[in-house]
Structure 1
Amino acid sequence: MSREDFRQLPLHKKIQTLYTEGTFIVGIRYYSHKVNLYLLGEEYIEVFYNHKLDKIDNIDFLNTGHTRMKFYLDQIQLSI
């Protein structure tokens, strides 16, 4: 599945795809979110869960230039 195909999926299909075809890598806390990192094929995908609202706010591809990377790299070795 291409990046564009994944981005076009409705939220519930993204969730289903990640849970059935993806591999959970690590979870971090980031401000008001718990962010779970998954590997889907060769792509890393972040799932932003807002625990105060009890909902997933966003699912998108990992931005390796974002400052969140330091939280991941403190815990695991990513092959990017």
Structure 2
Amino acid sequence: MIAYTEFDELTLEDKISTLYEKGTFVMAIRYYGYKINLYLLGNFYLEVFINHKFSLIEKIIPLDHMHTRMKFYSDQIKLPKEEL
């Protein structure tokens, strides 16, 4: 299992490969100009921001449980609560 700190040090290309090979796709949402794919990798969730206009993955970031995007996810699935 890969830790987030190790994942975060990878290049964008290596992050994409790691998610494709080891991650589990959970769901996708539309958010402004992006399609955001939610993945589970080990014990953490990641958001993959895809710009459809350019067919490009722009960034991969950890899921922010406090962001307003959580409403889009929680309307469709039940995510475990983050431990404080």
User: Common fold, TM-score beyond 0.5?
Assistant: yes
How many angstroms apart in 2 are the aligned matches of 1:65 and 1:53?
Answer: 29
User: How many correspondences in the alignment?
Assistant: 80
Residues 11-52 of structure 1: CA deviation (Å, up to 9, x unaligned): 111011111101000000000000000000110000000001
Secondary structure at the aligned position of 1:75 is classed as coil
How many angstroms apart in 2 are the aligned matches of 1:79 and 1:39?
Answer: 12
Aligned to 2:31: 30
How many angstroms apart in 2 are the aligned matches of 1:68 and 1:23?
Answer: 20
How many angstroms apart in 2 are the aligned matches of 1:40 and 1:54?
Answer: 23
Q: Structure 1 residue 71 and structure 2 residue 72: aligned?
A: yes
Normalization by structure 2: what TM-score? 0.91
One-letter identity of the residue aligned with 1:4: T
One-letter identity of the residue aligned with 2:16: I
The percentage of counterpart residues that share the same residue type is 54
Consecutive unaligned residues in structure 1, runs of 5 or more: none
Q: Structure 1 residue 59 and structure 2 residue 50: aligned?
A: no
Moved over 3 A (4+): none
- CA-based RMSD of the aligned residues comes to 0.7
